[in-house]
Amino acid sequence: MLLGTHGLHPYHGRVPPTDAEREPERPAPAGAEPTSPAPHPGDAPAPGGPAEPGRPGAGGSPVDVLDPPTGPTPDGSAAGADTDEPEPVTRTNLLRRLLGEDALTLDATPRARLTGWLWALAVTVLAGVLRFWDLARPHELVFDETYYVKQAFSLLTLGYEGAWGEDANPAFAAGDTSLLGTDPEYVVHPPVGKWMIALGIRLGGGVESSFAWRFAAAVCGTLAVLMVARIGRRLFASTALGATAGLLLAVDGQAIVHSRISLLDPFLMFFVLAAFGALVLDRDQARRRLAARTADALAAAPGVLAWGPGLGLRWWRLAAGVLLGLAIGTKWSGMYFLAVFGVMVVVWDVAARRTAGTRHWFWSGVLRDGVPAFVTMVGTAAVVYVGTWWSWFASPQAWGRQWAVENPDQGVPWLPPALRSLWHYHEDMWRFHNGLETPHSYAAHPLGWIVQWRPTSYFYPSEVSSLTGEAAQQACGADACSQAILALGNPLLWWAGAAAVLVALFWLVRYRDWRAAAVLSGIVAGWAPWFLYAHRTIFTFYSVAFVPWVVLTLVYVLGLLIGPRPDPARRHEVRAHRRAVVAVGVFVAVVVAVSAFFYPVWAGWVVPWQQWHIRMWLPTWI
């Protein structure tokens, strides 16, 4: 069984942070061997052996604790009890404390590295099959494809979004684009997602192919599974858990549906997930640099570092800034991911400085790491975002492009005319989005998104549902037929994911496990801000932006249920551990089975009406 793969077990050999007090640090006497600063409470190895099954622990790296709780540790041992001699300050010892033993040994052998990639690629292949199989169905514009696919073609043709004639969809589906005019169309989303669709049209076979319309979304949705599998492996220091995360994303309904139609949200999800992955890589790389430079500094001048070493240019963090700029250039809601991820990386850096024994760890983390992080991420994202409007700048006929010329005394006077026009355009878009309160039958309050209470129906053609008699028999083998595309996440996955969010919140508050914060970060960024706009017309399908983090949170909790590998001599623990592995494996198998059951209403199959109806478990799904 995947989750029981030997040597790939999560959370091995560590317990939650203790509240051991750090003793005052004194410079070492001249000629004495350098010693390690007092260990960070979250980095202490488990006293008395491996942690008990189900305890939170360091599958990937130590727990980052900025303010450790007082009182007994979760395993009942007294706080501060540590009779071990201080470790010498070496790069290896610092790495062990900063990253954790499991993370350091995750890729220790070529076989481990190969296995990590093979499992990730296996679930990615499955994802590709579920996304590309019969991707051209239906051969008509679905839901908001009527905007984004036609706008994408317009960008390819004109360089800006042009207005289409009346009832252009049937002609467009037939490959007739003659109804595209040169007058500009007012659009309310930035251009990156539409350029992605345009690239898919160019590479996938041309505008007459509905496969080509959706090609880019399917590619990004498939690659998202690969990223989640690799990110999960690094977060949890477990190939098994990483592959499980990839598998769950591969079979989720929100992820599948939005890989099979061309909206903007799958591209938003792709870019913010890639940015998150870049920041996880940056965390590991920065801690390796910190360990090496701290060890070198202490070897040259034993004692305690006041501010700690600088870490140089953080290339992965720069890449995250680029990706977040592209995310914001797809939909403005990418800004919330930038804000949440920005806070998260500063907390990571502050915690790393403390773990490394820096005296002024807080201000060192804020000033030496936080300020450069702001410049690197926010500054880069801002530059990239403005750059994503390049085709608008280059198109004099684009909507609002000449506003500054036509209104020389209005707007932001100190900006160049082109930027002044862009600023005014953004003000118009903001007013549109904030005032959008048009009633819609599938509008949904964000509170219900996490349990998929009111999914969005994208496609339910009357041409199929109205079939009767022999026509219905030929279409679906029954007296009545249905064809649906319902943006509904796998119910079991999302309901369990909602419970997992509560567990992860508890683990974050009680044990301050950095992994709990990491897996919750995307949910906070992708879900929480929408409560501020609950008065607007908003939809459950926006949740596709944070579905990777729902999956990661669920897998995090599954890892806690499995617990660390027990001592073979303790047979009752071994049996309990095996039961936990089997239970988790059965749960994952049932999730996959539920996805197989719902796939027809995710992929637009023509089925008997009764088969559609038995999949509508809740009346709010209709």
pLDDT on residue 278: 98
DSSP codes joined into one string, 11-57: S-S--S---PPPPPP-PPPTTPPPBPPPPPGGGPPPTTSSPPTT---
- Per-residue pLDDT for 488 more than 90? yes
Helix axes 334-355, 514-527, angle to 10 degrees: 160
- Can you tell me the distance from the alpha carbon of 492 to that of 488, in angstroms, rounded to the nearest whole number? 11
List Cβ neighbours of 52 (8 Å cut-off, separation of 6 or more): 15, 75, 563, 564, 573
**pLDDT bracket for residue 87 (50, 70, 90):** low
Give 341-366 pLDDT, tens digit per residue: 999 999 999 999 999 999 999 999 99
Mean pLDDT is lowest, of 491-500, 551-560, 575-584, for 575-584
Is the separation of the CB atoms in 345 and 373 below 8 Å?
yes
Average pLDDT, stretch 281-292?
95
Give 367-425 pLDDT, tens digit per residue: 999 999 999 999 999 999 999 999 999 999 999 999 999 999 898 889 999 999 999 99
Give 94-120 pLDDT, tens digit per residue: 888 999 888 898 998 999 999 999 999
- pTM of the full predicted structure? 0.87
Give 561-614 pLDDT, tens digit per residue: 998 888 888 888 889 999 999 999 999 999 999 999 999 999 999 999 999 999
**pLDDT bracket for residue 51 (50, 70, 90):** very low
pLDDT on residue 302: 80
List Cβ neighbours of 446 (8 Å cut-off, separation of 6 or more): 527, 530, 531, 534, 538, 542
- Per-residue pLDDT for 223 more than 60? yes
Proportion of the chain above pLDDT 90, given as a percent:
76
Which residues, listed in sequence order, are joined to residue 481 by a DSSP beta bridge? 608
Task: From 187, 161, 193, 210, select the one nearest 266 (Cα to Cα).
Answer: 193
Give the angle 198-157-332 at the CA atoms, nearest 5°: 45
Look at 517 and 70; give whichever has higher pLDDT.
Answer: 517
**pLDDT bracket for residue 261 (50, 70, 90):** very high
- Per-residue pLDDT for 499 more than 50? yes
pLDDT on residue 89: 74
pLDDT on residue 218: 98
**pLDDT bracket for residue 17 (50, 70, 90):** very low
Mean pLDDT is lowest, of 75-84, 319-328, 411-420, for 75-84
Which residues, listed in sequence order, are joined to residue 459 by a DSSP beta bridge? 485
Which residues, listed in sequence order, are joined to residue 456 by a DSSP beta bridge? 487
pLDDT on residue 303: 75
Average pLDDT, stretch 446-474?
96
Average pLDDT, stretch 90-97?
87
**pLDDT bracket for residue 85 (50, 70, 90):** low
- Per-residue pLDDT for 541 more than 80? yes
**pLDDT bracket for residue 57 (50, 70, 90):** very low
- Per-residue pLDDT for 76 more than 50? no
Average pLDDT, stretch 292-309?
86
Look at 606 and 5; give whichever has higher pLDDT.
Answer: 606
